[in-house]
């Protein structure tokens, strides 16, 4: 006699228990993984890292030249009142800025030509590759600079438009390219004021060309400090992208 007891198939489940596929369950509990996003070309990375030691040596050797010319130091003051000299004695001693004008000039002008050649190569690269479009700001970028600064200072919640670079970065990078041009042109006017007298006169004379050169150097230093702070704020992934070319981002899918 057959057993009339109803059997339950092993594939059937109670309607009160929800069914979830194994892969769906695993996906729901999985954490988002990182995705490599292309950010910097090889040429821009190489020229960036070549420029870093060159600019450091240029600033250091330029300060040696300034240290040797203490008869006319640059200072800060107003209305005839002298407040303080730029680069006081304790900075000169800590940086090893000895009073040796010839060595300072030898370092400065030797590495200055490498700095100039690297700048020319970068300008040609920007023009031929079209990368200048990511750096040169347009009217909209100029209007968004204040919003980016306020957002970085945590004074504005809305995130400004962001491409490869934001508006403030475009203005800063274009500005530092202009500083590179002015520092080279004014440096040539100072190096050979007689042979390049038309250039020296165009810049307002030797003393004014010297002021332009020194002011451009201060601009480089301010950019350098700000750049380091922004890179630190952006995190390791942003720094690594200038080495590898790719930035790791969280995949939100």
Q: What's the Rg (C-alpha) of the chain?
A: 29
Q: What is the DSSP string of 1-39?
A: ----SPP--TT---TTS----HHHHHHHHPPPPEEEEE-
Is pLDDT at 2 greater than 60 in this prediction?
no
Q: What is the pTM of this model?
A: 0.71
Residues 95-124: pLDDT tens digits? 666 667 777 788 888 999 999 999 999 999
What pLDDT does residue 142 have? Answer: 84
pLDDT reading at 253 higher than 90: no
Q: Which residues of 32-43 are buried (b: 16+ CB within 10 A; e: fewer)?
A: eeeeeeebbeeb
Residue 81's SS3 state is: strand
- Judged by average pLDDT, the poorest of 20-34, 50-64, 70-84, 144-158 is 20-34
Q: How far is CA 200 from CA 63, 185, 197, 203, 216, in A?
A: 22, 9, 5, 5, 16
| Residues 130/131/132/137 CA torsion (nearest 10 deg) | 120
Q: Which residues contact 163 (CB under 8 A, 6 or more apart)?
A: 134
- Domains, the chain, ordered by start: 35-250 (1.20.950.20)
Query: How crowded is the C-beta side of 140, counted as CA atoms within 13 Å?
Result: 5
Q: Please, which pLDDT band fits residue 159 given cuts at 50, 70 and 90?
A: confident
Q: List, as one string, the DSSP characters of 148-161.
A: HHHHHTTS--SPPP
Q: pLDDT tens digits for 198-221?
A: 999 999 999 999 899 989 988 998
Among the listed ranges 10-19, 40-49, 161-170, 214-223, which one has the minimum average pLDDT value?
Answer: 10-19
* Model pLDDT, residue 175: 92
Residue 252: predicted pLDDT = 55
């Amino acid at each position: 006699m057959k057993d009339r007891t109803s059997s339950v198939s092993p594939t059937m489940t109670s309607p009160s228990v929800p069914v979830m596929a194994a892969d769906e369950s695993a996906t729901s509990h999985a954490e988002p993984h990182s995705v490599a996003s292309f950010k910097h070309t090889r040429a821009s990375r190489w020229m960036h890292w070549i420029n870093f030691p060159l600019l450091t040596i240029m600033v250091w050797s330029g300060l040696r030249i300034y240290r040797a010319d203490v008869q006319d130091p640059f200072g800060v003051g107003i209305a005839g009142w002298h407040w303080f000299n730029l680069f006081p004695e304790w900075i000169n001693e800590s940086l090893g800025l000895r009073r040796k004008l010839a060595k300072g000039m030898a370092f400065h002008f030797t590495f200055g030509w490498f700095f100039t050649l690297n700048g020319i190569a970068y300008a040609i690269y920007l023009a031929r590759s079209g990368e200048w479009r990511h750096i040169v700001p347009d009217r909209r970028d100029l209007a968004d600079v204040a919003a980016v600064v306020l957002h970085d200072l945590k004074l504005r919640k809305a995130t400004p438009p962001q491409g490869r670079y934001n508006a403030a970065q475009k203005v800063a990078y274009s500005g530092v390219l202009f500083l590179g041009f002015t520092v080279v042109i004014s440096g040539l006017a100072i190096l050979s004021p007689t042979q390049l007298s038309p250039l020296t006169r165009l810049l307002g004379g030797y003393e004014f060309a010297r002021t332009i050169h020194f002011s451009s150097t201060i601009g480089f230093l301010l950019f350098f400090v700000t750049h380091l702070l922004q890179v630190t704020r952006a995190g390791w992934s942003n720094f690594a992208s200038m080495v590898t070319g790719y930035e790791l981002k969280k995949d939100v899918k």
